[in-house]
Amino acid sequence: MTNPAEPGTSEDLEQRYLELSAEYEQFRYHLPDALLELELPSARVVSMNRLAEVLLGYTMEDVLAGLYGYQLVDEESWQRALRAGEEDFSGRVRQGLPYERRPGQQVHRFTAIRKDGSRFPIEAQGSYIVDARGVPTGVRFLFRDISARLAAERERARLAAIVDSAGDAIVSRDLDGRILSWNRGAEALYGWTAAEMVGRTADVLAPPGQEDEVRELTERVKQGDHVKVTTRRQARDGRLIDVELSLFPVLDESGQVMAIGGIARGITERLR
């Protein structure tokens, strides 16, 4: 009859290694980012986690059948990846020395290609898998689909262009009254440039004796009110301007007021 392995024996170490390997595989498989590993120098895919399978449309059966890194990105992306690798290998590794990681995490933007041929933008971070001598034998990529983020950025840029080119003065402020944005319509109406006004409070626009009105309107909007008034504001050159002013709360994802928006239209000539 054999005795159970004593603590610290090779059997215990092997069992612990297997347990840790299983834990690592579970961790890797369920990472919130997609992960895949390539062997070097062939660039053959040796593993990918569940999210990588979902994003790329490949399965482990495809990996086992033979799948290569250059199949997963477009040509321009692959050439940039190769150039980055050449930079990494051109020094120490070429001399037979251990790989020395460069400071900071390098983030690359690539165009990925799914199994069905469709393409999508990704951001990827790579790290080398090294052997006992410190020589890279593979590369591990963490990546994420940034399609939604790029679409949101394009939409924000489109809206910003519309706001900036609008004829009306469009101004946003934080909850303390400091100006966050100031479009060209505001520059034309009030005479101050955006560079001069961003970061200042809107009190500078109040005619002498009307500072309290600005603060009162601000407090109403902070409580969620939409305010429309006809009032006066002071331009940079000291002129008093009659304006129609609409103020409204800017809400965050949870419905809380995060900023104050305002649209002003000069009506001095109309009143005259």
Reported residue count of the chain is 272
Mean pLDDT by 10 residues, the chain (272 residues): 56 67 62 88 92 93 94 95 79 62 75 96 89 84 93 90 88 92 94 94 88 88 93 92 94 91 88 73
CA-based R_g, the chain, Å: 30
The confidence score (pLDDT) of residue 1 equals 46
The confidence score (pLDDT) of residue 107 equals 85
The confidence score (pLDDT) of residue 99 equals 58
CA distance 40 to 92: 17
The confidence score (pLDDT) of residue 242 equals 93
The confidence score (pLDDT) of residue 44 equals 96
Max Cα-Cα span within the chain? 110
The confidence score (pLDDT) of residue 2 equals 47
Residues β-bridged to residue 245:
229, 264
The answer to whether 171 and 264 are in contact (CB under 8 A) is yes
Q: Measuring CA to CA, which residue among 69, 71, 66 is closest to residue 115?
A: 71
The confidence score (pLDDT) of residue 96 equals 62
